[in-house]
Amino acid sequence: MKRNEAWGDLLTQAEQIPDELETRLNRTIARAERREKRRRWLKPLIGVTGTAAAFVLLVNSSVTFALAASRVPIVRELVEAVAFDPSLKAAVAHDYVQLVGDTYTKDGVTVTIEYLIVDPMNVSVFYSLSDEQGRELELVPDLFDANGNSLSVSATFGEERIEENESEKGLFDTIRSYLGLDKVQKTLYTWRLHASKEGVIQTQMQLKVEVRNLGHWKDAEWNAVDEPEAQESRAPEAMFTLDIPLTIEPQFLKSGRVFPVNQTVDVLGQKLTIDEIAIYPSNTRIIWHTDPENEAWLTYLPFYLTDEHGNRVDGIRNGISGTGKDRGYGGGTVWLDSAWYDTAEHLTLHLDDAAIVPKDQDTVLLQEDGRLIGLPDYIHQITSGPYWEANTVCIQTDKGTYHTNTSAFDGYVDADGQTDSFGSISTFVTSEAENTFTNSYPMPQGVRYPLTLFVDFAPGQKLENPIEVHT
């Protein structure tokens, strides 16, 4: 029996979940969504290597999917790995997976490429990892063509864990037993490689993976009071590079469709043109640009799609949510979850709220003493001084309709004209009731002040006339 046929049978068998378990699960999910998520340094993607508890929590409404998938041995560990991503969950459910199983070993480190999910714009690599010495490792990928030329991709990777407390342990044990997750034999890690344009992803490619030893580095250490010189000594240690060939089955590079739109709309008094909608198995991309004569930058465009059946496709929450040009505001791409598996005949693109930064208010000066000059009225400086206290600048920012934590500033230019980005930025919700969040920025060392900071955030505003674009 084919896997997709077995999948259908399992879905039929798994339609029911005990009422008490479902009720408790929903309450736990609600609590988990309110918890602060811990992000690792240099990991833009909230990743996929969480505990079984995290898998159960974040599978959200796809309980039936989880029940079925947990009973399919060949993909059980894969299901756990894609639990955070609706698009990849849909890919697995539709048997859109390339099985690999190739193993590579160097200096006691063994990496097995288990599965691939590939389309013309994305490569998701699922791998297992072991180390003879039991070190805590981080693997950072880079992608090349068969001739060794670097390919234009953005790589994301990482992990997220939700710790269980004693009151929840019994619930988690019950769920693990019910779903059969104790039978998962391995943990899968993930690299996400996103191409800048079609044609970048090829049938024959090469991964160069830098293996880093986290060893002496711990999350808590970054919160310690240290001299700036000590930061570099705590950075992960680069050990060696693994060369891993990737062979992509050609049919996966044909799965995508582009819908021209070319419609201009008014967003908070600014002209915005929707160029096209590109749909792939791994995500959906909304390509747009703005009028150079606009008086403000559009910094927040939470597009979403609906079909005639009321199904909705929202923006990506874990990973890259978009790319841009002209400082990210003059045009770019907003990424949504995949609409590839939607069987509807019509899709409608929606925009209900947005945010703008006036072009004459898009920079702020950071003085060497930590003072910020020229802040917009929705950003408030709350502390400044050396590292952690004296060497960190803290601000509090009004969110408006924008309900996702973000950074207020997107890099800087120093007094010598050198452009750079900030290092480790701490972002957390200050107050849900007050609708604010806080950023902490490390003061850059070895640069000439003052620094010109690029304002990358404004509070979201509801549109008086929400936008609908029909395809």
Q: How many domains does the chain have?
A: 3
Distance CA 443, CA 424 (A): 10
CATH number at residue 337: 2.60.40
Task: Say whether both 351 and 365 belong to one domain.
Answer: no
Task: Say whether both 235 and 261 belong to one domain.
Answer: no
Task: Say whether both 111 and 123 belong to one domain.
Answer: yes
- Give me the long-range contacts of 258-265 (CB less than 8 A, separation at least 24): 259/471, 261/349, 261/469, 261/471, 263/469, 265/351, 265/467, 265/469
- The average pLDDT across 80-99 equals 84
Each residue's pLDDT tens digit, 376-405: 999 999 875 433 455 788 888 888 887 666
Instruction: List C-alpha distances in Å: 349 to 165, 206, 307, 462, 470.
Output: 41, 37, 9, 16, 6
* Residue where a domain terminates, one of 252, 286, 309: 252
**pLDDT above 70 (res 439):** yes
Task: Say whether both 246 and 271 belong to one domain.
Answer: no
* Choice between 212 and 425, residue whose per-residue pLDDT is larger: 212
Task: Say whether both 342 and 409 belong to one domain.
Answer: no
* Residue where a domain terminates, one of 220, 252, 284: 252
Distance CA 441, CA 425 (A): 5
> What are residue 73's DSSP bridge partners?
none
Q: pLDDT-based confidence at 177, cuts 50/70/90?
A: low
Distance CA 145, CA 207 (A): 9
* Residue where a domain terminates, one of 252, 282, 316: 252
Q: Which of 120-129, 188-197, 435-444 has the highest mean pLDDT?
A: 120-129
Q: pLDDT-based confidence at 299, cuts 50/70/90?
A: confident
Domain range for 52: 3-252
Task: Say whether both 197 and 212 belong to one domain.
Answer: yes
- The average pLDDT across 310-335 equals 76
Q: Using an 8 Å Cβ cutoff, are 345 and 308 in contact?
A: yes
**pLDDT above 70 (res 68):** no
Q: pLDDT-based confidence at 406, cuts 50/70/90?
A: confident
Task: Say whether both 196 and 268 belong to one domain.
Answer: no
Q: pLDDT-based confidence at 413, cuts 50/70/90?
A: very high
Task: Say whether both 90 and 108 belong to one domain.
Answer: yes
Task: Say whether both 92 and 227 belong to one domain.
Answer: yes
Task: Say whether both 267 and 140 belong to one domain.
Answer: no
CATH number at residue 90: 2.60.40.1640
Task: Say whether both 221 and 339 belong to one domain.
Answer: no
Task: Say whether both 317 and 414 belong to one domain.
Answer: no
